[in-house]
Amino acid sequence: MEKNNNNILNELQLQTIPRFSLPSNSLLLLPLVIPIFTFIFTSTATTVSAFDYADALTKSLLYFESQRSGRLPYNQRVTWRDNSGLTDGLEQGVDLVGGYYDAGDHVKFGLPMAFTVTMLSWSVIEFRDQIAEAGELEHALEAIKWGTDYFIKAHTSPNVLWAEVGDGDTDHYCWQRPEDMTTSRHAYKIDENNPGSDLAGETAAAMAAASIVFKKTNPHYSHLLLHHAQQLFEFGDKYRGRYDASVGVVKSYYASVSGYMDELLWGAMWLYKATDSDNYLDYVINKSHCFGGIGWAITEFSWDVKYAGLQLMASKLLAEDKHKKHTHILEQYRSKAEYYLCSCLNMNNGSNIDRTPGGLLYIRQWNNMQYVSTAAFLLTVYSDFMVSSNQQLNCHGGTVDHEEILSFAKSQLDYILGSNPMNMSYLVGYGSKYPTRVHHRGASIVSYRENKGFIGCTQGYDNWYSRPEPNPNVLVGALVGGPDCQDNFMDQRDNYMQTEACTYNTAPLVGVFAKMLQLQDQNPSQSLVASY
């Protein structure tokens, strides 16, 4: 992604207060703007037409093929792409070919890539049957494996993990197709002397979650992933530090502003899910307080800040008898999870997530959609949990049932797909109107398969970036940054805050599309919204 100095937690750092000693309300960073009663479910009321979630699901998985780095397989479906990055790691004597380009550029950033794979895996873990029924399970597994194959390569010994290939500054100097890349492919690593507990923790989470996904269909691979995940977690826990202190080039792009404690708890939680071993659960319980697991109430769930996802997973443990002895701590996790969910629903006392007039959750102007897609995911997962555990959600503004939560998640999804004041689908390639000038090097330049004539570093800016015409290649399934706080969107290539897409925007949608598809299939004549 473009250089980002607009991260939420930059705001956090400005606070001079001790991090974990305050009541949760004081830690909420987003000021209340909309009175509680203004919009609760109004945006859903205008959503009448049913969307084609099966089509959206199919397209969302295609996007990951567009972002592939390395040697493309025979069954590659996105045919405007070709092989690229074939010497990644060579300079350092390590094979780092493969993995995903992060966004509209060609850096392989480890932290957001790992979060992408965690969210793809979580999508499959929760909604496997629905994805399979839609005929998309193979594609979902391929999307995960493209990432985990790379993580296996990048984890060259127990305490060494390659963190990044390429760097934002030199990459952004050029506008080229990945197939023509002439920029630096220098690789950066973390190790015992250059720790990165956040990166190690998130990569452990991704590999542990993926090991659950592959457990039945590919047990050998699943076991391998788990082995890497356990080593990575141990490495991250033993050698503590933020990865951006060790890999300086990542600072202006993916600085780990929330620190590494969230990723260590999150990694331990996923390892507990993957192994059922009490050691990992004890870690989540014992460190709940000092690592902020039960102290932070945050209304953002993202590649940087994992607390809300962790808290939601911990809440679900309460439903099982075997966790009874941890009820006291798990309840505290749950209260923070509920705080997140209620703030999405605009039902907290004071501290709610802002919304656009059109009803979209709004956190900040730069790539806001990433927070919408993670919120829709957590709400959907929690709604399913409420059904299976026969619970309700108690917010300050009242008690909410699972249908209301799902209905709100659907309103966000439908906004993404076109039910919005611009009548624009922010999922590229979906519907009749979608962004055509996505800030993406490969998509904005003639396909390498059509024209192999070399396009140089600045030539791309002159001849392709500055063209007013739509991109020659449609980046199908990409979720762009989306509209501003007034629902306005400008479809311009240089408007990267709104028109750039990132892999972690789309990943959570895979699960949410599958869930909405299932609802539609169960109830074809009446959309969920119509029942309100």
Ligand X SMILES: *[C@@H]1O[C@H](CO)[C@@H](O)[C@H](O)[C@H]1NC(C)=O
Residues in touch with ligand X (CB under 6 A): 279, 282-283, 286, 349-350, 422-423
Report which secondary-structure segment, H or E, holds 65.
Answer: helix 53-66
**Sequence-ordered list of residues with C-beta below 8 angstroms from that of 488, at least 6 positions apart, any chain:** 422
Q: Which is nearer to ligand X, 73 or 350 (CB)?
A: 350
Reported residue count of the chain is 532
CB 121 within 8 A of CB 209: yes
For residues 244 and 255, give the distance between their C-alpha atoms in angstroms, rounded to a whole number.
6
For residues 375 and 344, give the distance between their C-alpha atoms in angstroms, rounded to a whole number.
7
Q: Which of 203, 198, 185, 232 is nearest to 69 (CA)?
A: 185
Instruction: State the nearest-atom distance from the C-beta of 423 to ligand X, in Å.
Output: 4
**Bridge-based pairing state of the strands 354-355 and 361-362:** antiparallel
Retrieve residue 209's tokens.
């979650």
Residue 109 in 3-state DSSP?
Answer: strand
The Cα-based distances of 90 to 163, 184, 495 in angstroms read 15, 12, 34
Q: Which is nearer to ligand X, 214 or 333 (CB)?
A: 333
Q: Which is nearer to ligand X, 348 or 380 (CB)?
A: 348
Q: Show which residues are catalytic.
A: 105, 439, 491, 500
Instruction: State the nearest-atom distance from the C-beta of 404 to ligand X, in Å.
Output: 21
**Sequence-ordered list of residues with C-beta below 8 angstroms from that of 207, at least 6 positions apart, any chain:** 148, 151, 225, 226, 228, 229, 232
Retrieve residue 429's tokens.
């390639």
Report which secondary-structure segment, H or E, holds 53.
Answer: helix 53-66
Retrieve residue 222's tokens.
């699943």
Greatest CA separation for the chain: 66
Burial 368-392 (b: 16+ CB within 10 A, else e): bbbbbbbbbbbbbbbbbbbeeeebe
CB 360 within 8 A of CB 412: yes
Instruction: For residue 400, list its beta bridge partners.
Output: 393
Instruction: State the nearest-atom distance from the C-beta of 369 to ligand X, in Å.
Output: 18
CB 159 within 8 A of CB 191: yes
For tokens 């390892």, name the residue: 271
For residues 367 and 1, give the distance between their C-alpha atoms in angstroms, rounded to a whole number.
10
Question: For residue 135, what is the DSSP state?
Answer: T
**Sequence-ordered list of residues with C-beta below 8 angstroms from that of 97, at least 6 positions apart, any chain:** 69, 70, 71, 85, 86, 87, 88, 89, 153
Would you list the DSSP string of 302-315?
A: SSS--HHHHHHHHH
Residue 463 backbone phi and psi in degrees, to 5: -95, -20
For residues 208 and 200, give the distance between their C-alpha atoms in angstroms, rounded to a whole number.
12
Instruction: State the nearest-atom distance from the C-beta of 36 to ligand X, in Å.
Output: 10
* Rg over CA atoms, the chain: 22
Q: Which of 302, 284, 282, 301 is nearest to 293 (CA)?
A: 284
